[in-house]
Amino acid sequence: MNSPSLKEFQDQVSELLLRHRSLLDVLSKCNQANASVHRSVIKSVTECGCIEVHAEKQRYSEQPDLQEAMGLMQQHIHGKLCDTCKEAVSAELGKNFFYISALCNLLSIDMETVIDEESRKCSTLGLFNLS
């Protein structure tokens, strides 16, 4: 089975969204879905333990060598999501995408255009796009 395009997904969300057609409802559901993504990642650390967080100040190179700078940057994640946690995080991300799509629908914004524009910006700005 082929994955749906962003357009197909956005159309599907439009058909399924019944209760939360208000902009304020969708905004609050976006926040709730985002918090659920965070919570599922946190549970992977605090309840399951399949990943650990070892955070410290990022070390930067004084030299402008990009490869060396990239090698010094840390993700602060040790371990890998187990299948159960990966499934939980993925499910929460799916809900997040659902409500982002709903927000796009309410505001007449095409998700594919947003992704294309952001990708083009990343390609054009390269490293200057880093935040």
Is 6 part of a structural domain of the chain? no
Total domain count for the chain? Answer: 1
Q: Could you please report the per-residue DSSP string of 82-108?
A: -HHHHHHHHHHHHHHHHHHHHHHHHTT
Tell whether pTM > 0.85: no
Q: Range of 75's domain?
A: 20-129
Is 97 part of a structural domain of the chain? yes
Is 54 part of a structural domain of the chain? yes
Task: Specify the CATH number for the domain of residue 84.
Answer: 1.10.287
Q: Could you please report the per-residue DSSP string of 20-53?
A: --SHHHHHHHHHHHHHHHHHHHHHIIIII-SEEE
Is 83 part of a structural domain of the chain? yes
Is 38 part of a structural domain of the chain? yes
Given this model, what pLDDT does residue 111 score? 94
Is 9 part of a structural domain of the chain? no
Per-residue pLDDT of the chain in tens (131 residues, 90 and over written 9)? 688 888 999 999 988 876 667 899 999 999 999 999 999 999 999 999 999 999 888 776 666 566 666 666 667 899 999 999 999 999 999 999 999 999 999 999 999 999 999 998 888 866 555 55
